Structure 1
Amino acid sequence: MIFCKILALLGLAAAALSAHADNWPSRPIRFVVAAPGGSSLDIIARTLGDKLKDRLGQPIVIDNVPGASGTIATGNVARAAPDGHTWLISYNGPLAYTQFLTRLPYDPQKDLVPIIQTSSQPNVLAVSADLPVKNVRELIAYARARPGKLNYASVGNGSSSHLTMELFKSMTGSYVVHIPYNGAPPAALSLVSGETQMLFSVPSVVMPQVKSGKVKALAVSSASRFPLLSDLPTVAESGLPDFESITWNGVLVPKGTPVEITQRLNREMDSILKMADVRQRLNNAGLEPIGGTAEAFQSLIAAEAAKWEPIVRKTGAKLD
């Protein structure tokens, strides 16, 4: 008897969720961005929002919530009502490896449901203009011959910029001193001034300095050449096989959001990311649109967490 009542209650709950999904969305959508206005994440969110508002019949309200390396926004959405009216766009740090750098108020793989990977980009390995190396092989040899004599900049402790160089050091057996900066502009300027000699950072940060001749770009950190910088070789093809480190981002919703809603969001966003004008807008921001299934994005998050945990443990990096 009790078992029958439980089944009945479960059936009523399922029916309620289905009815809710049928009426969704019933009010404006809050699209939380784990970065400030004008950032690459902001550009992606606004691009998707512009297209989705007509498809869904409701306004998409962009809510920029920067701070704490993206964990404030990510945690806020993890605790939001799972009714399909709160979305998140976040990136690899808060979703994959920041959990190993500090204690988080959410579990990225349990408290959020992945919808779609929106884009990715590699880090560019750049060196100061006066460093006497022309490629990755020469850089590795130069660094190995001078343990502790070279400095590398990062855009912050525990950032992708930091961890990518630590992966490079680990795989090359070199010792280069880490100097973290508060953001990308001062890190790039330290390379220009010669205060540091090496930096991994996203293309939008270093390529303007490369074009001006103030720094040299040696390679990209992706497994294959980046279509937007096809003249640059990869680190892997330049003497360090299997090296790969990318920055990526995607859309997620709170755990418990009805599957009918998550599936529709994936279909709509995947379709939008294939549109020519959307691809051009993201390319102009230095981003390569990805798309695909929710399952593929979920697998990426899990794989990246497994990859970076031992690197973080080895470096002893912590968020301030």
Structure 2
Amino acid sequence: MNRRHFMSAVAAFAAAAPRISFAETPPYPGEKPTMIVGFSAGGAGDIASRVVANYLKAARGVVLTPDFRPGAGGTIATDQVRRAPADGSVVSLFSVSPLLVAPHLAAVPYDPSRDFTFIASYVGISVPCFVRSDSPFRTWDDLVDYARKAPAKLRWATAAPRGLAHIATDAAFRTEKVTATFVPFKGGADAVTALLGGHIEMVVSSDFGPHLAAGSVRLLAETSPNPSGSLPGVVTFAERGYPIAIPASYGLFGPAGMSPELVTWWENVIGEMTGSSAYADFLKVINGYALFQKSEAFTSMVRGAYTALGRQIDAMGIRL
């Protein structure tokens, strides 16, 4: 997303947020909050944090300040959350990689199963498998059949080596008894450029929106449990019964020990936000889908996903 589109999206979110009487709503039951974001400003993580901050200010009169702390794939910011007080003064943007993948692959100073309070998730990101629109692979089964008959001939890539999409797709290929060649790239844009140039046959990434709109790519399968699987010919990893079908989601989490009162307050605000027009605009901007989970369901998803990813990482032999 370029800077102009990003700033237009932020302005739209702020304008669409509701204006209600703060006297009608319960005050924030904690210290003035800061939202730690483990990524640089200007990307999808920035938009995912600002839609919450803008809604919170408009609907509750509470100023939530995003604090961008990029580095080490989000693990530095995640450890800062671990060390923060549990008084509501610090919450953070949840994303899969630093919490569910990184602890299996590197020495990090936190344990996702005990060091955090998982407050609520509020959006899933579509991460489909796609090919060029002129590819001979019309369906996911076409691609799998080719890879089975021609071992290692199929070349594919993701936005991030050893990320969720890489692990999930490798698990799918293993289930299908397929051998394919993974080609590492620095990011999704580079991988898509290689696909469009004919250097690889498939990409698994969230960087598909403009190319799908332009008719230059075709979606075959969706790695997460939901959304693009509703399109004709697109299957989901969940419906195929593949080992990893975890939503690439954004949400809120905080330090361990946050009070039930704080968690409930945030659950209510996030739940209200997902019914707003600002939220609907947000989904369109980031190619996302509605995925609201309260703390109990969110925590259960995180723990189950962490275990499943660990098993697949061991099967791939990439644990450090």
TM-score between both structures, scaled by the size of structure 1? 0.83
Give the distance between the partners of 1:271 and 1:247, measured in 2 at CA. 22
Instruction: After TM superposition, give the deviation of residue 318 of structure 1 in Å.
Output: 5.3
Deviations 1:216-257 (A, max 9, x none): 322222334438x634522459xx721334311210111122
The alpha carbon displacement at 1:213 in A equals 3.9
Task: Give the match for residue 223 of structure 1.
Answer: 225
Aligned equivalents of 1:23 and 1:219: distance in 2?
A: 42
Relative to structure 1, is the Cα distance of residues 235 and 50 closer, same or farther in structure 2, using a 3 angstrom cutoff? closer
Distance 1:135 1:231 in 2: 10
In the TM superposition, 1:167-316 aligns within 5 A as 167-202=171-206, 205-226=207-228, 230-231=231-232, 233-236=234-237, 241-243=240-242, 244-316=245-317
Q: Partners of 1:283 and 1:232 in 2: how far apart? A: 22
Q: Is the 8 A contact 1:153 1:190 kept in 2?
A: no
**How far has the Cα of 1:114 moved from its partner?**
0.7
1:284, distance to aligned residue in structure 2 (A): 2.8
SS of the residue aligned with 1:88? Answer: strand
Counting matched residue pairs gives 293
Rg larger in 1 or in 2? 1
List per-residue Cα deviations over 1:28-55 (Å, max 9, x = no partner).
Answer: x211112222322221211111121255
Give secondary structure in 1 for the equivalent of 2:235: coil
Alpha-carbon distance in structure 1 between the residues aligned to 2:34 and 2:131: 41
Q: Give distance in 1, aligned partners of 2:58 and 2:138.
A: 51
Q: Contact conserved, 1:225 with 1:232, CA < 8 A, in 2?
A: no
User: Partner of 1:317 in structure 2?
Assistant: 318
Q: Does 1:157 align with 2:161?
A: yes
How far apart are the structure 1 equivalents of 2:128 and 2:31?
44
Higher mean C-alpha displacement, 32-41 vs 110-119: 32-41
Partner of 2:80: 76
Per the alignment, in what secondary structure is the counterpart of residue 152 of structure 1?
Answer: strand
SS of residue in 2 equivalent to 1:156: coil
C-alpha contact 2:128 2:221 (8 A) present in aligned 1: yes
1:137 aligns to 2:141 (yes or no): yes
Contact residue 35 and residue 42 of structure 1 kept, 8 A: yes
Q: Unpaired runs of 5+ in structure 2? A: 1-25
Percent of aligned positions that are identical: 23
Cα distance change of structure 1 residues 132 and 166 upon mapping to structure 2, 3 Å threshold: same
Unaligned segments of structure 1, at least 5 residues? 1-20
CA contact (8 A) 1:152 1:177 kept: yes
- Cα distance in 1 for residues equivalent to 2:174 and 2:130: 18
Matched to 2:220, the amino acid is: L
1:44 alignment counterpart: 48
Q: Provide closer, same or farther for how the CA distance between residues 230 and 135 of structure 1 changes in structure 2, counting only shifts above 3 A.
A: closer
**Cα distance in 1 between the residues matched to 2:138 and 2:261:** 53
Q: Aligned AA for 2:67?
A: D
What is the CA-CA distance between 1:127 and the residue it aligns to?
Answer: 1.9
CA deviations over 1:138-165 (Å, ceiling 9, x no partner): 1111111111122111212211221122
Change (3 A) 1:295 1:149: same
Could you tell me which amino acid in structure 1 is paired with residue 142 of structure 2? E
**Partner of residue 67, structure 2:** 63
The CA deviation string for residues 93-128 of structure 1, in whole angstroms up to 9 with x for no partner, is 222222111121111121110110111123211124
